[in-house]
A and B are shown apart, each in its own frame.
Chain A
Amino acid sequence: MKSVNVRNMEIAFGETRVLKDVCFDVEPGECFGLVGESGSGKSTVLRCLSLLLSVWGGEVKIGGTSVRDMATPERCRTLQMVFQDPYGSLHPRHSVRTTLSESLIVNRLDNHQERMEQVLTDVGLPIDFLDRYPHQLSGGQRQRVAIARALILEPDVLLLDEPTSALDVSVQAEILNLLARLRAEKGFTYIMVSHDLAVVDHMCERFAVMQAGRIVEILPREAIPGNGATDPYARELIGASLEYERAV
């Protein structure tokens, strides 16, 4: 289990500053949520963390080591990401086997067949799915494959970018259960981006509310039902979600 510490993360695309002084700490084994409207920069945080975007300011430490100091293979085996759209995150011409074995080949790991079977079992897919292509899978199954791809390198930190927002409610429940089970079994640290406070409440211990590239408040999940936020925007967001759900 590794902690994640983000300090003064900043990035600008041209003139627009997309992230401004983002700081947060995630405990080892914690599930940390990032919520906010579209365009608030919550996905950008994940892309910076994973070095998919490389030109940004500030520092990110995972388990005490800066991500920039890690060699690529080490970084890949420390953090992995699950994307929002299961239809766009699997290569349409690669079978599940190719998708999974690619990681193993690149990172020079052995026992391909065993590892692939293990990881498919972990995400609850039958082993003969190895020879399926993405178009032969449903949305939920694709997302399971995407999770399997992230798991196969046995990372410590999983970045989840709206992992269920493209899925139906019943499939979302399956994927959320899977993510919760994997965390309990393997002790992952999760950073989860979501726009759905109900999902954040279900999964995360703490969450940060983002607005216009800034973290306005970091709250524990217990603050959601009674709307315990102090920042006006965070109050508005939580209030709107509560009203929308009328679950109080």
Chain B
Amino acid sequence: MTMTDASQRPARETVKRVPQSLIALRNILTFLLKSPTSAFGLLVLAVLLSGAALAPLLATHDPYAQDLQSALQAPSMAHFFGTDELGRDIYSRILYGSRITLTFITLVSVIVGPIGLLVGTVAGYFGGRIDTVLMRITDIFLSFPSLILSLAFVAALGPSLNNAIIAISLTAWPPIARLARAETLTFRSADYIAAARLQGASSGRIIWRSIVPMCLPSVLIRLTLNMATVILTAAGLGFLGLGAQPPLPEWGAMIATGRRYMIDSWWTVTFPGLAILCVSLAFNLLGDGLRDALDPKQMNRR
């Protein structure tokens, strides 16, 4: 490209200066919608979000209202997904349950992302002893099976939704830290980092301004893929009675209580199970789609 042919198109470029990030977001969304699998992921996520937001409008019953007269009824027009052993409407409970699931994955991601990013970039950028110490701590957390560690943690603090969130976060950050460290190692010796050091920027500033933006895409992808695991672990904890407590319509807990009636009343476990399946599948597909969309090779076509 020469000076002359490049300077012919600056006017158009300056107009879109402010919403550069918005343009990038829109491009990523269009990219995701192009492939059917990630479009499915986006669709399920949209359904999940709107279901959670509009739960009071969409629900046909109060999710906590018991009606022993109509316990364990098969799906019908009155109860789309049937009722459970206490006569609560499963459809409404799943709708309200999506709120719990969303809280779960949002909080876990908000806790895990920054911690993993911080530990990984600091370890990768400084290297040496800091790296060794931080990575050995990471290794210790990684060497516990995540469900067992969560179990131990919840057992110590007592079962509740918040403790389950903390327990899952505790086991979910190490892979993010490892990923961020590996990414940082590839950028650390880049000339633009050397240039930033020559500009007098402090290490903290270099990590925050130069390294974190480079690690962010892969961390985001990893977080999205992680959400599926988080949902499954949350459901597992709920199933074991260590997550959300009984009256709460948490999907895992619903399966746990429905298990006893499973033989005669298949709907008590099928619909919450399907919900878990759909949402975790959706996040997996979305993560794969994001990986393609945020691929550095695609960067130039933004």
Contacts and interface: CB of A to CB of B under 8 A. Distances in A.
A–B contact with Cβ pairs below 8 Å: the answer is yes
A76 B198 CA distance: 6
A138 B7 CA distance: 11
A110 B18 CA distance: 23
Nearest to A85: B191
A102 B209 contact: yes
Given A93-B213, A138-B3, A153-B199, 6 more contacts: A81-B198, A92-B214, A94-B210, A103-B200, A137-B1, A149-B199
B22 interface: no
Interface of B: 1-3, 6-7, 10-11, 13-14, 17, 20, 190-192, 194-202, 205, 209-210, 213-214, 299-300, 302
Nearest to B9: A136
Contacts of A129: 10
A91 interface: yes
B14 A88 contact: no
Given A81-B195, A85-B191, A91 B210 contact: yes
A86 to B, nearest CB: 9
Interface residues of A, number: 40
A102 B199 contact: yes
A107 B194 contact: no
13 contacts: A52-B198, A72-B200, A84-B191, A85-B191, A89-B191, A89-B192, A95-B20, A102-B196, A102-B199, A106-B201, A126-B7, A131-B17, A138-B3
A128 B10 contact: yes
A91 B192 contact: yes
B79 to A, nearest CB: 52
Nearest to B210: A91
Interface string A133-144: 001111011000
A65 to B, nearest CB: 17
A88 B299 CA distance: 15
A181 interface: no
Nearest to B214: A93
Contacts of B210: 91, 94
A189 interface: no
A88 B205 CA distance: 19
B73 to A, nearest CB: 56
B125 to A, nearest CB: 14
Contacts of B10: 126, 128-129, 132
Nearest to A88: B191
A146 interface: yes
A132 B13 contact: yes
A149 B195 contact: yes
A73 B200 contact: yes
B195 A141 contact: no
A128 B8 CA distance: 11
A79 to B, nearest CB: 8
Contact of A103 (B17, B191, B199, B300): B199
B200 A107 contact: yes
Nearest to A103: B199
Nearest to A161: B191
Contacts of A34: none
A95 B14 CA distance: 12
Nearest to A170: B2
B296 to A, nearest CB: 8
B105 to A, nearest CB: 27
Nearest to B190: A88
Contacts of B1: 137-138, 141
Given A88-B190, A128-B10, A146 B195 contact: yes
Contacts of A126: 7, 10
Nearest to B194: A52
